[in-house]
Structure 1
Amino acid sequence: MDAARARPSTSYPRWALALAFLVSVSVLWISAQAPAVHSKPKEGASSPASSGAPPLVRLMAGQAKLDLLPSTQYWIDHNKDTTAPAIQASILSGQAKFVPSTSTDAHSIDGKVLWLRFDLKAREAYSQWLLELGSPLMDDVSLHWQDSKGQWKSQRAGDVLARKDWPLHTRLPTFKLQSEATDAVSYLLRIEHARFPVSLPLVVYSDSTYLAEQLKEHMMLGAFVGLLVLLGTASLSLHGLRREPVFAAYAGSLFLLGMFNLTNLGLLPLFIDSASPLISDRLNYALAGLTAALAPWLVRVIVQPVVHLRLINVLIILQAAAMLCCATWELMRPTWLSYQLLNLGTLCSIALIYALMAVTWQRGESITRWVALSCTPIALSVTPLILRNLGAIPNSWLTQYSVPLASTICLPALLYALLARSNSRREGRARAAGLPSHDALTGLPNMRSFLQHMHGSIIRANGFGHSYGLLLVELTNHAWFVKEHGREIADRALILSSVRLQQNARDMDVICRLDDSHFVMLVEGACSQAQLIKLATQISANSQMPAEALPVGSSLRLSISCALMPTKESLSQGDDAHAQLGWLVAAAEAAPKDQRKTVRSIGF
């Protein structure tokens, strides 16, 4: 019977994992099969629009920004040495047949050059307009045009140049457009890029709008970097305090993921090194390989699967060694083969991470499952990057920001899950360390600690001339719990009673368990009779709330005796803490019992 009941709970994770796998495969298949996503341009193909000029785009004073890509034409040149004047001459002679561009184009131009052609006309002279390319990872980009005197002008950006040599020292390649005259200007944009297909948005901004967009972007990226620094500092501090390798592994994965994000977003070469283009040209792919190499091992340390599968361990080691070799190859001498091996290795790393998630999920612990769920979206967010690199989808906002968004959401949740798991495992050691000063069952301060606090309160009350409060709380149905449900349920009732008292107590108040059915609360500071009665009433009302830890239909029954100390009668027994507490216990036992009255006052 028990085995039959346990089957649904064990089959649910398998259904969930199978459903997630089918959804992921379906998304990948649809993305790869979509005919409009990846266009393979035909060089030299002629069309009705290819022989004419591109549509003239008028830049009005009230416009903030404009999507320029639908108004452009493209042509792919197999000769990298062709200059802009030569392209202009080819256009006039009809040799270079430009084709209209669409937002879904993805041009594979490894070993070739992509030329984009567009015409702009500013309505006002000396109005400043800026052209921004929507990808920070471009090898070589240059903008060419003729000024009013017929002289060719050009601006150049890309990873082959240091950021200080760009027209604008920004994260994305940005060019200043011609602004001296209101005549129409024909522009030629030359793009040279290897490895993944080129599909980037082209946006024209006014100078004021561009400044506002830059401020918003810097604020968001600064918050992301600050979050990474905060999480890294917290994880290293936890590792230093608790000596647990899982926090060191978290810090290592955070560092690798942060460095990859900063390089992929164009921040690292912008703020760290403005002299060498090596950081933005090769380091991004090398960091991707290094992250893919160490990610499965770091995830294994973080999730800590109970089942030690020899096959997975061997695959993790082989994967790490192979990816480290590919990353070194990519950093020292990048080729098309090294790039493809990096993509395939990253897919293998994602598969290993999902295998670790599946093994971890079978443990059934809620905290461990939270750890697994926190790791999964980060691995899933790499999928758009791989699809872009393989040419299945065009470059877009999702391909650039999927990993930072997943990191922002999942990294804090992962650290919280790791901290919760660490606290649950350290709870036994913490309670064992607190046995000399705390109660073993409830975790409340023991009698010695309580009397020390009470002694200090008596000294302060005598010095300032005010009264302090004492509440004697009795669990009246403790004997019934022991008789009807056993000692374990009775202990649960005691623990729940201590929780109810702590929920209503202030930070300065102290609670102690006297015996099997009695608690005492020290209300620190100056207090009045009305405050004591109100506090006792709140405790009595909260204790009657139903609790899952108790049997159905049962609740706590607390009888509370409150006293404003010291009184003349208590001082006759002595002015020390032990005597004052003894007087309260004796007075509560001598007071008449009334089952209908749960709160009683003693001495007032």
Structure 2
Amino acid sequence: MKNLQKQAVKCMRYAIGFLAALLLAVLSGLLGAASFAQPIVILDDQRPVTDLQTSGLTWIDSGAQATITQLASSKTRPPMSPAQAHTVYALGSQAALWQHYRFMKSADSRQDWVLQFPLPLLDLVTVFQRSPTGDWIGQTAGDTVAVSLWPEPGRYPQFQLALRSGSVHDVYVRIQHATRVNIPIKAISGKVRSHRQQVEALSTGVVLGALLLLIVAGATQSLVYRDRAYGWYALYVSVMTLVAAAWTGVASHLLWSDSGVWADLAPGCLSILVGGTAPMVVHHLCGPGAGQKWFEPLAYWLGAASLPLAITYAMVERGTGVIIAGTYVIAVVVLGMRRAIIVWKGRDMVGFWVLAAFMPLALAALLMLASTMGLLPVSSLSQYGLLAGLTLQVPLLLVALNLRSRERHSMEAREQAMATQDALTGLLTPHLFNDRLHRVVSRAMRHGEPAAVVYVELANYDYVKRTYGTAVAEQSLLRSVIKLRRILRDVDTVGRVDEARFGMILEGVSSREPVNEMAARLIAAGLMPLKGLQPDVVLQFHVAGVLLSEKLADGPELSHALAHLLDSMAARTRRPIRFLEPELTRPMPLDGDSRDDSNRDLDSKPVRNYPKL
């Protein structure tokens, strides 16, 4: 019996001890919660920036019906919990987030203090502070409110803290945001805020100014060169500049500060529109490509779909709109990068530069989309990543555009050269040579300018072609051109007038001697063997020429006569240099001019009357 009593007493002791420990733990927890329920943030000039994400209490009003009077009253105040760092809130369009902060300005602080929400896309935030009379005064900002109505106009919401030295200042914050969001909040001194605003304005101004210069340059080059790729580039950079300005809050602050509705819609709508221009830029840079003909119609369809998708984004609920815009932009970026990779694999450096341009922008877009949807905490990288990605993308795209433009201009130059120059020899084509001949003959008829027209034929061309093949025959033509270039002056005109026949115009030549000398040198050079050439083929030339001072006729007549003279030569003729016979007679003058000079002199002499003897 005694043992049972002892055991019962021992159990009672353990139970009482356990209950006492449990009560002590509960009391300590309550005391701890009570001590943390109203944390006081000391604002000191030595710490000009204070992160407040863990310094307040939070409560989510699911119906967004609570008022500041209910929150501030001890009787009707709902239970608020300590805030956690990097918390992602999914408020939707119906709920509101309340935050409570307590501030005290240190005795030695001489700065004004500002409450900042460095999130340009924050929908709506209202800050409540007590006035000197004790009433609660609310100030509202956010991208659903026109920036011109903000208490402190800027890129993101910020509010002056009406602090009084030596007293605790209560601040209540009411936030509404349609999508998942991590909300940064800071208390910053006025001096540091002014310095940061100047740095931000300088960096943003430099980037936007450079982008504007690139837009003007692209539009100008599109008009001058008539190249649509530069036009698409200018359009893409223009819309992308607006997108960067909208996401960073610059556009809502400076461009459409009087429209809260458009400030809320602009980031998503403009992102979709810039996604529509990106495939066109990639298409004009990378080209259609063999086996990739599907890309061009797909690029046009994606571009055409951007406008209805932007309208849809403006009409649907914001969470759905963000999913639509994010999916579309990511699909466009992935498609463009895939096209660039295919082009790069084809050993085209344009594909490499396009890929390098889209990589940082794709990473920045994913980071910003993730932070907008609350998947990642908001940071300076997520805020300014798009601006940095754009800063890298635009010049890299310009490099790719310049490479492609250089290739196109080179191709156009070759096409123009093919219209004026022989594809094999690089000499003038027959129609251009005949045009030059017509001009020289016209000058000779009008002003008597001396010139010689010479036709040269590779006499053994047909034999070489039959014996050694087309390749050796074309090689013989090229050797002939080289030898012609060596003996001609820079001012002389030379063209390929037939398969193995060349025409030359030697201006300023008034005798046969220079022509004979040139022809003899050419024939001798053709007969000299070329060391190392296999097969060893000599070049046999026949030369036919005419001096315009000896025989003056129209260009086609001269060409026909010289060709006939070459055709009349035997393959092994001993006179490989021949001239057209000069004109020995002149047309008879008209009757009025038939009298000779002697008769004209006799008629002009006066009749003298001699004196009679």
TM over 0.5: yes
Q: Structure 1 residues 391 and 127 mapped into 2: Cα distance closer, same or farther (>3 Å)? A: closer
Once the 2 structures are TM-superposed, how far is the Cα of residue 304 of structure 1 from its aligned partner? 1.8
Give the structure 2 partner of residue 75 of structure 1.
59
Aligned partner (choices 394, 400, 404) of residue 387 of structure 2: 404
Helix, strand or coil: the match of 1:138? coil
Paired with 1:192 and 1:79, the residues of 2 have a C-alpha distance of 11
Once the 2 structures are TM-superposed, how far is the Cα of residue 256 of structure 1 from its aligned partner? 1.4
Once the 2 structures are TM-superposed, how far is the Cα of residue 140 of structure 1 from its aligned partner? 1.0
Helix, strand or coil: the match of 2:181? coil
Identify the range of structure 1 (198-207 vs 257-266) with the bigger mean alpha-carbon deviation: 198-207
Identify the range of structure 1 (353-362 vs 223-232) with the bigger mean alpha-carbon deviation: 353-362
Give the structure 2 partner of residue 371 of structure 1.
354
Helix, strand or coil: the match of 2:37? coil
Paired with 1:404 and 1:248, the residues of 2 have a C-alpha distance of 22
Q: Structure 1 residues 62 and 51 mapped into 2: Cα distance closer, same or farther (>3 Å)? A: closer
Paired with 2:298 and 2:402, the residues of 1 have a C-alpha distance of 29
Helix, strand or coil: the match of 1:352? helix
Q: Select the structure with the greater relative contact order (CA < 8 A; seq sep ≥ 6).
A: 1
Mapping for residues 260-409 of structure 1, pairs under 5 Å: 260-313=243-296, 315-332=298-315, 334-409=317-392
Give the structure 2 partner of residue 227 of structure 1.
210
Q: Report if the CA contact (8 A) 1:120-1:185 is conserved.
A: yes
Identify the range of structure 1 (68-77 vs 301-310) with the bigger mean alpha-carbon deviation: 301-310
Q: Report if the CA contact (8 A) 1:51-1:97 is conserved.
A: no
Q: Structure 1 residues 79 and 354 mapped into 2: Cα distance closer, same or farther (>3 Å)? A: same
RMSD (Å), alpha carbons: 3.4
One-letter code aligned to 2:326: N
Compare CA radii of gyration and give the structure with the larger one. 2
Paired with 2:359 and 2:90, the residues of 1 have a C-alpha distance of 31
Paired with 1:293 and 1:47, the residues of 2 have a C-alpha distance of 59
Q: Structure 1 residues 323 and 244 mapped into 2: Cα distance closer, same or farther (>3 Å)? A: closer
Paired with 1:202 and 1:182, the residues of 2 have a C-alpha distance of 23
Once the 2 structures are TM-superposed, how far is the Cα of residue 80 of structure 1 from its aligned partner? 1.3
Paired with 2:367 and 2:33, the residues of 1 have a C-alpha distance of 33
Paired with 1:238 and 1:164, the residues of 2 have a C-alpha distance of 38
Q: Structure 1 residues 313 and 240 mapped into 2: Cα distance closer, same or farther (>3 Å)? A: closer
Once the 2 structures are TM-superposed, how far is the Cα of residue 294 of structure 1 from its aligned partner? 3.0
Paired with 1:281 and 1:166, the residues of 2 have a C-alpha distance of 15
Give the structure 1 partner of residue 469 of structure 2.
none
Q: Structure 1 residues 227 and 293 mapped into 2: Cα distance closer, same or farther (>3 Å)? A: same
Helix, strand or coil: the match of 2:378? coil
Paired with 1:153 and 1:141, the residues of 2 have a C-alpha distance of 14
Give the structure 2 partner of residue 255 of structure 1.
238
Helix, strand or coil: the match of 1:273? coil
Give the structure 1 partner of residue 159 of structure 2.
175
Percent of aligned positions with the same letter in both sequences? 24
Give the structure 2 partner of residue 511 of structure 1.
none
Once the 2 structures are TM-superposed, how far is the Cα of residue 168 of structure 1 from its aligned partner? 0.9
Q: Which runs of 5+ in 2 are unaligned?
A: 1-29, 424-474, 479-484, 491-613
Paired with 1:59 and 1:515, the residues of 2 have a C-alpha distance of 89
Are 1:150 and 2:134 an aligned pair? Answer: yes
Q: Which runs of 5+ in 1 are unaligned?
A: 1-45, 441-487, 492-513, 520-604
One-letter code aligned to 1:83: T
Q: Report if the CA contact (8 A) 1:343-1:386 is conserved.
A: yes
Instruction: Give the alignment's TM-score, normalised by structure 2.
Output: 0.59
Helix, strand or coil: the match of 1:120? strand
Aligned partner (choices 107, 131, 139) of residue 89 of structure 2: 107
Helix, strand or coil: the match of 1:401? helix
Deviation per CA, 1:220-273: give whole Å up to 9, x if none: 000111011011111112112211111111111111111111111111121122
Q: Structure 1 residues 290 and 49 mapped into 2: Cα distance closer, same or farther (>3 Å)? A: farther
Q: Report if the CA contact (8 A) 1:200-1:396 is conserved.
A: no
Deviation per CA, 1:251-301: give whole Å up to 9, x if none: 111111111111111111211222211221112211122222332233222
Are 1:193 and 2:150 an aligned pair? Answer: no
Once the 2 structures are TM-superposed, how far is the Cα of residue 429 of structure 1 from its aligned partner? 4.8
Paired with 1:310 and 1:366, the residues of 2 have a C-alpha distance of 20
Q: Structure 1 residues 332 and 390 mapped into 2: Cα distance closer, same or farther (>3 Å)? A: closer
Paired with 1:47 and 1:434, the residues of 2 have a C-alpha distance of 92
Mapping for residues 513-592 of structure 1, pairs under 5 Å: none
Paired with 2:120 and 2:318, the residues of 1 have a C-alpha distance of 20
Q: Structure 1 residues 47 and 336 mapped into 2: Cα distance closer, same or farther (>3 Å)? A: farther
Q: Structure 1 residues 434 and 292 mapped into 2: Cα distance closer, same or farther (>3 Å)? A: closer
Q: Report if the CA contact (8 A) 2:286-2:343 is conserved.
A: yes
Q: Report if the CA contact (8 A) 2:353-2:399 is conserved.
A: no
Paired with 2:122 and 2:34, the residues of 1 have a C-alpha distance of 26
Segments ≥4 residues shifted beyond 6 Å? 431-435
Give the structure 2 partner of residue 123 of structure 1.
106
Once the 2 structures are TM-superposed, how far is the Cα of residue 93 of structure 1 from its aligned partner? 5.6
Once the 2 structures are TM-superposed, how far is the Cα of residue 97 of structure 1 from its aligned partner? 2.3
Helix, strand or coil: the match of 2:73? helix
Paired with 1:63 and 1:391, the residues of 2 have a C-alpha distance of 29
Q: Report if the CA contact (8 A) 1:60-1:123 is conserved.
A: yes
Paired with 1:423 and 1:62, the residues of 2 have a C-alpha distance of 58
Once the 2 structures are TM-superposed, how far is the Cα of residue 101 of structure 1 from its aligned partner? 2.3
Paired with 1:116 and 1:87, the residues of 2 have a C-alpha distance of 10
One-letter code aligned to 1:212: H
Once the 2 structures are TM-superposed, how far is the Cα of residue 209 of structure 1 from its aligned partner? 1.2
Helix, strand or coil: the match of 2:104? strand
Helix, strand or coil: the match of 1:63? coil
Give the structure 2 partner of residue 60 of structure 1.
44
Helix, strand or coil: the match of 1:274? coil
Aligned partner (choices 145, 150, 153) of residue 166 of structure 1: 150
Once the 2 structures are TM-superposed, how far is the Cα of residue 367 of structure 1 from its aligned partner? 3.8
Q: Report if the CA contact (8 A) 2:337-2:355 is conserved.
A: no
Q: Report if the CA contact (8 A) 1:377-1:406 is conserved.
A: yes
One-letter code aligned to 1:175: F
Q: Report if the CA contact (8 A) 1:307-1:359 is conserved.
A: no
Deviation per CA, 1:161-183: give whole Å up to 9, x if none: 21111111211111000134431
Paired with 1:331 and 1:381, the residues of 2 have a C-alpha distance of 23
Paired with 1:95 and 1:372, the residues of 2 have a C-alpha distance of 54
Once the 2 structures are TM-superposed, how far is the Cα of residue 381 of structure 1 from its aligned partner? 2.2
Q: Structure 1 residues 432 and 154 mapped into 2: Cα distance closer, same or farther (>3 Å)? A: same
Q: Structure 1 residues 100 and 368 mapped into 2: Cα distance closer, same or farther (>3 Å)? A: closer
Identify the range of structure 1 (255-264 vs 291-300) with the bigger mean alpha-carbon deviation: 291-300
Q: Structure 1 residues 159 and 55 mapped into 2: Cα distance closer, same or farther (>3 Å)? A: same
Paired with 1:109 and 1:372, the residues of 2 have a C-alpha distance of 38
Mapping for residues 12-51 of structure 1, pairs under 5 Å: 49=33
